[in-house]
Chains A and B, each alone.
Chain A
């Protein structure tokens, strides 16, 4: 119960920050990316503040042996800069530049009922589902060839 309340509270705080900062306005994101035109630096201030506060937050959290409501901190299973990271980020950045939405701002915009958010979010979910489908097929193909599930596709 505490876990769920805290998830709700953290989500609310996150949404509050996003909306107050202006990141729910795709024109500000596209303005930030338009460094050769009408540049809008807002995103840089938002990220600097978010990273700064969370840098301290991470340091504080690390002084605890475990999180307050669960037994263990997350472990990071991927550590290398690999092809999937680079290609995925290229694909994401291209879509981001086209519409000015990344996942969280798109979701709050859709929740507020904007036409743009309501077209963007279902499409984003379809994109995620296509990825999931391809991963399932890939892991099946690899399983068929070797008789064992592929470690990278197991997740």
Chain B
């Protein structure tokens, strides 16, 4: 599958999943919030949501070779530092690409639009510094 139709189809499925979760379970499909709640009281539906996500992802990974392939091999320290920043930052901001970027923007929340602009700008700046200044 070429990249643009796959991106549009995949994105539409993400939007459909978020819509069904809202319409059926009355929940926002923000992965940060869902994962953070795994340590809390109503953990079971969250375990099943994340489990479904992982199973379906792995199935696609096997059926469409290359779909989950990682070709940028970063040092372990970078992956660990990045993970710490992503975990801490998404909790402080109360949302990530799914909660703010998809669900929040779709309901035209000013807060989520602001969050998305800020994390995308920070991402652009980081990639610029790493790729074009440090490794120039």
- Most interface-central of A20, A90, A99 (chain B CB within 10 A): A20
CA distance A69 to B20 in the complex (A): 11
- Give how many B residues have a beta carbon under 8 Å from the other chain's beta carbons: 106
Find residues 1-57 in chain B having any chain A CB closer than 8 Å to their own CB. 1, 3-4, 6-29, 31-32, 35-36, 39, 44-46, 48-57
Interface of A: prevailing SS: helix
Q: With A89-B89, A99-B79 in contact, do A24 and B61 touch (Cβ < 8 Å)?
A: yes
Q: Beta-carbon contacts of A1-39 to B below 8 Å, as 1s and 0s?
A: 001111111111111111111111111011001111100
Q: Are A7 and B48 in contact (CB under 8 A)?
A: yes
Q: Are A8 and B51 in contact (CB under 8 A)?
A: yes
Q: Are A4 and B23 in contact (CB under 8 A)?
A: no
Q: Are A73 and B26 in contact (CB under 8 A)?
A: yes
Q: Are A109 and B79 in contact (CB under 8 A)?
A: no
Min Cβ gap A14→B in Å is: 4
Min Cβ gap B11→A in Å is: 3
**Which residue in B24, B68, B126 is a CB contact (below 8 Å) of A108?**
B68
Q: Are B49 and A97 in contact (CB under 8 A)?
A: no
> What residues of B have a CB within 8 angstroms of the CB of A51 in the complex?
15, 101-102, 105-106
CA distance A79 to B112 in the complex (A): 9
Number of A-B residue pairs having CB atoms within 8 Å of each other in the complex: 474
**Which residue in B15, B57, B91 is a CB contact (below 8 Å) of A132?**
B91
Task: Give the interface size bracket for A toward B.
Answer: 35 or more
Min Cβ gap A56→B in Å is: 8
Find residues 72-120 in chain B having any chain A CB closer than 8 Å to their own CB. 72-74, 76, 78-94, 96-98, 100-103, 105-107, 109-111, 114-116, 118-120
Q: With A114-B70, A116-B74 in contact, do A103 and B31 touch (Cβ < 8 Å)?
A: yes
> What residues of A have a CB within 8 angstroms of the CB of B124 in the complex?
33-35, 97
Q: With A69-B26, A108-B68 in contact, do A93 and B120 touch (Cβ < 8 Å)?
A: yes
Given contacts A90-B122, A104-B31, 16 further A-B contacts (CB under 8 A): A3-B24, A10-B20, A11-B49, A11-B51, A12-B56, A16-B56, A21-B14, A25-B70, A27-B70, A34-B127, A42-B7, A53-B15, A92-B122, A107-B54, A108-B68, A123-B82
Which of B's residues lie within 8 Å of A, judged by CB?
1, 3-4, 6-29, 31-32, 35-36, 39, 44-46, 48-61, 64, 67-74, 76, 78-94, 96-98, 100-103, 105-107, 109-111, 114-116, 118-128, 130-132
State the 10 A-B residue pairs at the shortest beta-carbon distance, nearest first.
A127-B87, A21-B10, A57-B19, A123-B83, A93-B122, A88-B93, A53-B15, A97-B126, A95-B85, A49-B11
